Amino acid sequence: MGMLQDSARRNPAWQALALGLFYLACFLAAGLGSLFTMVSVGSWYAGLAKPSWNPPGWVFGPVWTVLYALMAVAG
């Protein structure tokens, strides 16, 4: 048995708090990663030889946002 009893795990307030903490952790990780890559992405990514099926650049922001949100929910 884990640290929490079953009744605490089923409590909606506890579940909302846990989900909020997972969202915070996932989006802090995303923000930290973007701080380190934001400066150089424009220079090296634009110069890469990409295949014809490469999605346009505007797709990446929404897709990564959804992926990080889904990671938080899965956690």
Over 70: is that where the pLDDT of 1 sits?
Answer: no
Average pLDDT over residues 28-55: 85
Residue 23 pLDDT grade (very low, low, confident, very high; cuts 50, 70, 90): very high
Name the residue among 24, 22, 28 with its Cα closest to residue 74: 22
Instruction: Judge whether 74 lies within some domain.
Output: yes
pLDDT in tens, 46-71: 788 989 999 988 898 899 889 989 98
Instruction: Judge whether 66 lies within some domain.
Output: yes
Average pLDDT over residues 16-32: 91
Domain that holds residue 30: 25-34+56-75
Q: pLDDT at position 28, please?
A: 93
Instruction: Judge whether 62 lies within some domain.
Output: yes
Residue 25 pLDDT grade (very low, low, confident, very high; cuts 50, 70, 90): very high
Instruction: Judge whether 7 lies within some domain.
Output: no
Instruction: Judge whether 14 lies within some domain.
Output: no
Angle between helices 60-74 and 12-44 (to 10 degrees): 150
Domains contained in the chain, number: 1
Instruction: Judge whether 20 lies within some domain.
Output: no
Name the residue among 74, 71, 57 with its Cα closest to residue 29: 71
